[in-house]
Structure 1
Amino acid sequence: MGTTTDGLEGTGLPPELLDAYDDFGPAMRAAHPGLLASPGAAAFLAHCATQGKVRATKRWRREAAALLAGAERGEEIVRVLLDGMAGQREHPVTELSPVTGGGRAPGIASEANETLVRGLLWAAADLGAEWVVPAVGGVALNAATGLGGSGGTCRNGRIATSAVGVLGEFGGAQGTQAAQALGRLKGPVRNRTVVKGIAKSLEAVAERSGLTPSMIRERAVPSFGLDARGIRDEPLGAYTAALSISAPGTASLGFRGPQGRVLRSAPKSVRDEHGQELAGIREALKQLRALLPVERGRLEEHLMAGTRWGRADWEPYYIDHPVTGSLARALVWEISWDGGTGWTAGLPERTGGGWALAGPDGTAVPVADGALLRLWHPVRASSDDTGEWRAELVGRELRQPFPQVFREVYRITPAEWETRTHSERFAAHVLRYPRVRALMVERGWAGPQLGYFSEGQETRMLRELPRPGELHPSDGESWRAGFTLALVDQQQSDGGLAALCSTGRLCFERRRGLRGAWERADLVDVPERARSEAARDVDLFIGAASIGADPQGGGEDLDQDGDGEQEWEQDGDRAYDTYWHDWAFGELTESARIRREALALLLPRTRIADRTELTDRWLRVRGELRTYRIHLGSGNILLEPDDAQLRIVADPTPDREAVFLPFEEDGGLLSVILSKAFLLADDDRIADRTITGPVRRTG
């Protein structure tokens, strides 16, 4: 792609400003020729194009402010160009680097336009207009999310780091907006450098306000005009648009007609006569759907951290908040009246004067001034108390936004007492490396890649564990977990990256203060909640990425040689066949044991209760033709009495009955197991020959 002539566009800009080595420059020139030709525009943009660093100096910013003030439409230029970059899609960008030798690579900006946008971002930092923070936040989100919208490779890391740095410059009302924008970035952004920048900017905004970063974030959550019930009604002529949130955090938009009839889509009269208002409420729905997962993740971090609130913060920012409250009201909370020594648990219930926490025995404790509140965690509860809460949730059919009551707990084992400084309970598993790395990055773990290159034989993935939200970053201790992965040699690879990896040790490190050094810690010294949460992460990664989790034996050829045994073959050998079999039919993990407890509560409520039996590792289902055993850890099925494997790809939605699932959406392994159980209980009605063949075969 070559440069374009400014005469055809009438911008008056030299070709090196908004150049044509990407799609961004030509698009902006074509869309805003008059604006870019306005007096002072070229001089201001030429100065912006000199900002090649992450942070701008005071001298650079003073000169930028003077040139911006001298440009006739300077503020408008900054706004439209930042909005353009926030909406710029990735595309092949021409590289002129002497290191790479030129060529084309995916991105959103050429090197020159990248520098120009960084200058525009820092020029915006000194503007007080309402549009500034949303515009900078939009650029940060677009640039920082990975190629294709996911992963740790930013669309443009340099633009992203500058945008995040600018967000850390704001204070007052703009600081609240910036905290909101930074909070939204914490979910989708995976790049380690940008994530560190987000944390640093949140700390900077919080320090100006005298609050912690957590407090700043909770005060910045928008309501989108929803009332306390989580509903927003917008009259649109004869119809009413109803934007709402239903538990446990699902946003929807419906339309009520004059006779009260509810429609899922906007009627033609609304589209024709109220298009602008309709577009606004649809945009609110889009933003609300993006915000709910962020708030779900933030609440789960508070559960992991053990954050405590007073009533003055808990009520407006959590339980009464139209958005956050839709999630918080489905969680079990604890209240303390003695400064945090004794705690009483309950589900939030409205009372005449406010809120109370109701226990499973029907008693309720009012929430009044002087109380401390925190999220209940099963690691602090007895097995009897946890069992009561699980039965209560199933009895109420209350689905939680994330597993809390049905949360796995990992206590120190005798073997871990012996190893002292590390845990090997998750060692020696064989995992699909691309899958496990993606999952780990999604949960905040980071580390070097594994692959067929120098130093790619082993990696240590690290996650800094959430801290209590009421603590200033410089107070108390910080903890992080480290989990070792090693390359498993396999011929297939993707660009030199590993296809398979093996697991090693789980270790913990402690840091005192904000900038202290990380030091290895004994397992017994790690707070029990932090240790359990890190172990839970690792167990879930293994459950999702293990080659044993695939009923097809890791996706390779399954060979059934007539003896009823399935063999996973890789490159002509059976190197992992034993591991696959042990995982697919072996002892249950902690998450599988939780699944077993859930089934013990759910199955008696179904019509197939008299056809099922739970054993130590299996759900045993008696059909009309055969009896089956479904493994509670993998979902794999064995036929009785010969233990031949039966492979079924079942619909994960058990729609033969409306089966309530207390801690996962349809599509999780619990729903898959239930779906298979319903199918096999009616095995005489199955028409699929790939199933009926093995089922009807005898001997």
Structure 2
Amino acid sequence: MTGAAESSAPRPDAARQRAFELGALLPAAYRSQYIVKFHTAVMEQAGREQSLFTPETCTELFDVMVEVAASRKTVNPCIATGALARCPAGAPLERLAGPARVLVEFLLREERLSHPFATLALAGLAGLDAEVAERITRELGPIAVAEVELLLGWGAEHRALFADPMQDSTFRPLAPLPDLRGRLSGLPGYPAFARTAVEAAGARVAAIHAGEIPYRAEKAFESSEKKTIGRAVRLALFRDEAWLPGPLDRLVRGVAVAPTSAKTLPSQGVLFEVAHAAESHPTPEAVSALRTARRITRHAGVTKQLDRMLKRIEPVLADRLEVAFRLPDGRVRQTVGEHTAVISIEDGVELSWWHGDKKLKTVPAAVRREHPDEVKRLREQVKQVRQQQATLARALETGYASEDGPPYRQLEGRPITDRLIWEFEVSPGVWRSELGMNVPDVPVRLWHPARVPPEEVRAWREAVQDEELRQPFKQAFREVYLLTPAEEETRDHSNRFAGHVVGYHKLYALFKQRGWAAGYLGPWDGGCNGEARRLLAGGRWRATFFHDLYDEEHATTGQVRFHRPTDGGWLLTPLAEVPALVFSEAMRDVDLFIAVTSIGADPEWLDRGPDGLRDHWRADSFGPLRSSAEVRRDALARLLPRLAVADRCTLTDRFLVVRGDLRTYKIHLGSGNILMEPNDAYLCVVPGRGGSDRIFLPFEEDGGLLSVIVSKAFLLAADTAVTDPTITRQIHG
């Protein structure tokens, strides 16, 4: 997608100017806390959008904070240090020293040290390092003290940058800096300290297990040390440090189980700090360590919490392409007594048992009797391998939107590559598509239908159908979303998926599953308007899907917008400037959200949904097809001649029409819902599986709707054989 369509969206310099304007408003807003509307409006905006400061506005803010401290006895040091970290021209450090000294003396005198790192940053300006360090380290453990000692060697601006992510998440005065983790990665000495901290924590836990330090439940680390270890692990995971896997595995194993037979842990806090860090920046090794902890811990509550956290971690791992490609192959061959257990992944993940060269139908009785724990462990491993394969497939999909060539060659020789279509640059600018990664020593990329002519798409779809090739994700039949004339008109937003009514709880779950970040909506102040966001192309683009709460069970859908990062924050960008595959992949996700969660996709909704939404239900149930349904129609057109009921089926623009002996039925290709001729009476059939079990379907990624449609076709073609009274009553009227 190319072109420079004229747009009302702000340019990067305009976005930067807006951030400076917001920074200029903050001193007045901080001073005017009793002018509630003005103060609230500016502070809320500063919490959402980037603010930047000139040396003059930074100085003004510090002076105002001194005034407020004197008159109202209150200081939020995070606002001051936030300004210090957001002054691109450099803060006037000498000019700020006096106000900073007043603020620090106030905080020490009033013993308001709930933001120790922000206070330490101000102390660096004020020349009060010794006084502040003595106060904030009084109750710190040695690992946390070492962190403070490192910070004391930094200047005030570096300290302010370090303090920025430590703002209270319930009241964050300034929106987080873009690429904050990358900025922290460059702080002098901190990457090396992170390694020292993780290794020191591991050594302490090892000493507890060796009996050198007495075991006390949950007392392995001071509260401050847990946070320090969490920060160290988070940065090391972000940097994907080569040294981390071994020390992290030993630390996680050590804190997950007591050295005695007790169900308690040396430190749940450190275990969950590691898990939270992995939620932000997962690696296969961190996931493996947490799965080990989940297996060995004796505390049932910890097991449940880790299960929940691992579910959140897996989708995020798929967005770290180069890291996700390190996921283990998954194939296992293991001797268990006189038998062999084999986990294969060639066509789905399967655990099989062998005796010599003979494959057995079930787990051998001797193995069940003599090795029950090993059987249980292998079954758990099958679940893990299935999840790993799903994550790897998702990572491959994520690569479509990448602007840099993902390192696909890392996967060479893996079974997953054999079922995918690849493109190879056989000469400069000339790409040739092949099934399987079988052309060595040339650039390679995943084939996408948006990059090739329609006749090539048709050829690959026929090949996948003819060879009954089950692809790891929908590739040959992948939907393509191009910019429409309406979107060219709206310029910086798309209304293509606006106006649908969806089941909210299912939608929210799908956001998490597909790696979109969204707050949970509810009947509280500001809780009815939602934005789901997904980063694409390694963080170079952000897609936003707007949605609003309709009632406790439903939401309505709104615009889709795209932003790219600038110094002034995220810049709203004209759709015509969004790379073609970034646009297509984001819109594909939104289409999936609606296809799966729309009230029209629920055949029983009409019996229990609110009356006010019946028109929405009918429009979604039987309206024009979206792109996902058009692809389903194409797949069904290829599939129909293979069906035993083909002579009773006709494909129209929206429906699969099935001729039964009693009536003729129209199955909508977008919802799977059914109308009966001649009067278009609605027929409610709850999805079930039937004749489609024996038929190859090229994909089941859309909630199984293609399978549902085929099953309903088999059922209704033989309508005289239907015995379910809930269906026959409707057919006979």
Shared fold by TM > 0.5?
yes
The answer to whether the Cα contact below 8 Å between 1:136 and 1:163 also exists between their aligned partners in 2 is no
Which of 487, 494, 514 pairs up with 2:549?
Answer: 487
1:445: Cα distance to partner? 1.7
Which of 345, 354, 357 pairs up with 1:256?
Answer: 354
1:333 aligns with 2:422: yes
1:580 aligns with 2:620: no
Aligned partners of 2:279, 2:495: CA distance in 1, in Å? 42
Aligned partners of 1:442, 1:665: CA distance in 2, in Å? 13
Aligned partners of 2:499, 2:670: CA distance in 1, in Å? 17
Q: Are the structure 2 counterparts of residues 527 and 114 from structure 1 closer, same or farther at C-alpha, using a change threshold of 3 Å?
A: same
- 1:546 corresponds to: 598
Letter paired with 1:215? E
Letter paired with 1:540? L
1:378: Cα distance to partner? 1.1
Letter paired with 1:296? A
Letter paired with 1:246? E
The answer to whether the Cα contact below 8 Å between 1:411 and 1:528 also exists between their aligned partners in 2 is yes
Letter paired with 2:453? S
Which of 411, 416, 434 pairs up with 1:318?
Answer: 411
The answer to whether the Cα contact below 8 Å between 2:665 and 2:677 also exists between their aligned partners in 1 is yes
- 1:628 corresponds to: 665
Aligned partners of 1:434, 1:696: CA distance in 2, in Å? 36
1:263: Cα distance to partner? 2.9
- 2:646 corresponds to: 609
- List aligned pairs for 1:127-276, cutoff 5 A: 132-134=247-249, 160-162=272-274, 165=277, 177-178=285-286, 214-218=321-325, 220-223=326-329, 226=331, 232-247=332-347, 250-258=348-356, 260-265=358-363, 267-273=364-370
- List aligned pairs for 1:501-520, cutoff 5 A: 501-511=555-565, 517-520=569-572
Letter paired with 2:416? L
The answer to whether the Cα contact below 8 Å between 2:202 and 2:251 also exists between their aligned partners in 1 is no
Aligned partners of 1:629, 1:443: CA distance in 2, in Å? 32
1:612: Cα distance to partner? 0.2
Between 1:52-61 and 1:599-608, the stretch displaced more is 52-61
- List aligned pairs for 1:32-111, cutoff 5 A: 73-74=207-208, 76=210
- Figure out how many residues of one structure are paired with residues of the other and give that number: 528
- List aligned pairs for 1:309-458, cutoff 5 A: 314-315=408-409, 317-320=410-413, 325-339=414-428, 341-348=429-436, 356=438, 367-369=439-441, 371-458=442-529
1:335: Cα distance to partner? 0.6
Q: Secondary structure at the match of 1:450?
A: coil
Aligned partners of 1:457, 1:176: CA distance in 2, in Å? 36
The answer to whether the Cα contact below 8 Å between 2:205 and 2:220 also exists between their aligned partners in 1 is no
The answer to whether the Cα contact below 8 Å between 1:330 and 1:401 also exists between their aligned partners in 2 is yes
Letter paired with 2:617? W
- 1:21 corresponds to: none
- List aligned pairs for 1:620-659, cutoff 5 A: 620-651=657-688, 653-655=689-691, 658-659=694-695
Q: Secondary structure at the match of 2:537?
A: coil
1:521 aligns with 2:596: no
Any unmatched runs of 5+ in structure 1? 1-43, 85-108, 143-155, 203-212, 227-231, 349-354, 357-366, 468-472, 494-498, 558-569
Aligned partners of 1:409, 1:618: CA distance in 2, in Å? 21
Q: Are the structure 2 counterparts of residues 237 and 518 from structure 1 closer, same or farther at C-alpha, using a change threshold of 3 Å?
A: same
The answer to whether the Cα contact below 8 Å between 2:209 and 2:254 also exists between their aligned partners in 1 is no
1:235: Cα distance to partner? 3.4
CA displacement 1:109-129 (0-9 Å, x = unmatched): 899987675577789999989
Q: Secondary structure at the match of 2:349?
A: strand
Q: Secondary structure at the match of 1:634?
A: coil
The answer to whether the Cα contact below 8 Å between 1:242 and 1:254 also exists between their aligned partners in 2 is yes
Aligned partners of 1:582, 1:398: CA distance in 2, in Å? 35
**Bigger fraction of residues in helix:** 2
- The structure whose RCO (Cα within 8 Å, separation 6+) is larger is 2
The answer to whether the Cα contact below 8 Å between 1:79 and 1:132 also exists between their aligned partners in 2 is no
Aligned partners of 1:650, 1:169: CA distance in 2, in Å? 39
- 2:68 corresponds to: none
Aligned partners of 2:476, 2:253: CA distance in 1, in Å? 36
CA displacement 1:171-222 (0-9 Å, x = unmatched): xxxx984597699999966779x999x89xx9xxxxxxxxxx643442x322
Aligned partners of 2:334, 2:242: CA distance in 1, in Å? 33
1:71: Cα distance to partner? 9.1
Q: Secondary structure at the match of 1:510?
A: strand
Q: Structure 1-normalised TM-score?
A: 0.65
The answer to whether the Cα contact below 8 Å between 1:329 and 1:347 also exists between their aligned partners in 2 is yes
Aligned partners of 2:479, 2:205: CA distance in 1, in Å? 60
- 1:287 corresponds to: 384
Any unmatched runs of 5+ in structure 2? 1-138, 149-162, 167-183, 258-267, 293-305
CA displacement 1:17-44 (0-9 Å, x = unmatched): xxxxxxxxxxxxxxxxxxxxxxxxxxx9
1:450: Cα distance to partner? 2.7
- 1:675 corresponds to: 711
The answer to whether the Cα contact below 8 Å between 1:114 and 1:159 also exists between their aligned partners in 2 is no
The answer to whether the Cα contact below 8 Å between 2:401 and 2:585 also exists between their aligned partners in 1 is yes
The answer to whether the Cα contact below 8 Å between 2:198 and 2:248 also exists between their aligned partners in 1 is no
- 1:597 corresponds to: 634
The answer to whether the Cα contact below 8 Å between 1:445 and 1:463 also exists between their aligned partners in 2 is yes
Letter paired with 1:291? Q
The answer to whether the Cα contact below 8 Å between 2:493 and 2:560 also exists between their aligned partners in 1 is yes
CA displacement 1:576-610 (0-9 Å, x = unmatched): 22221111111111111111111100010011010
The answer to whether the Cα contact below 8 Å between 1:190 and 1:441 also exists between their aligned partners in 2 is no
1:537 aligns with 2:625: no
Q: Are the structure 2 counterparts of residues 335 and 630 from structure 1 closer, same or farther at C-alpha, using a change threshold of 3 Å?
A: same
Letter paired with 2:652? T
Aligned partners of 2:256, 2:600: CA distance in 1, in Å? 37
Identity across matched positions, percent: 36
Q: Secondary structure at the match of 1:575?
A: helix
1:234: Cα distance to partner? 2.9
Letter paired with 2:393? R
The answer to whether the Cα contact below 8 Å between 1:140 and 1:163 also exists between their aligned partners in 2 is no
1:655: Cα distance to partner? 3.6
Q: Are the structure 2 counterparts of residues 394 and 75 from structure 1 closer, same or farther at C-alpha, using a change threshold of 3 Å?
A: same
Q: Secondary structure at the match of 1:687?
A: coil
1:693: Cα distance to partner? 2.0
Letter paired with 1:671? S
Q: Are the structure 2 counterparts of residues 47 and 533 from structure 1 closer, same or farther at C-alpha, using a change threshold of 3 Å?
A: same
1:438: Cα distance to partner? 1.8
Q: Secondary structure at the match of 2:342?
A: strand
CA displacement 1:313-334 (0-9 Å, x = unmatched): 645x2130xxxx2322211111
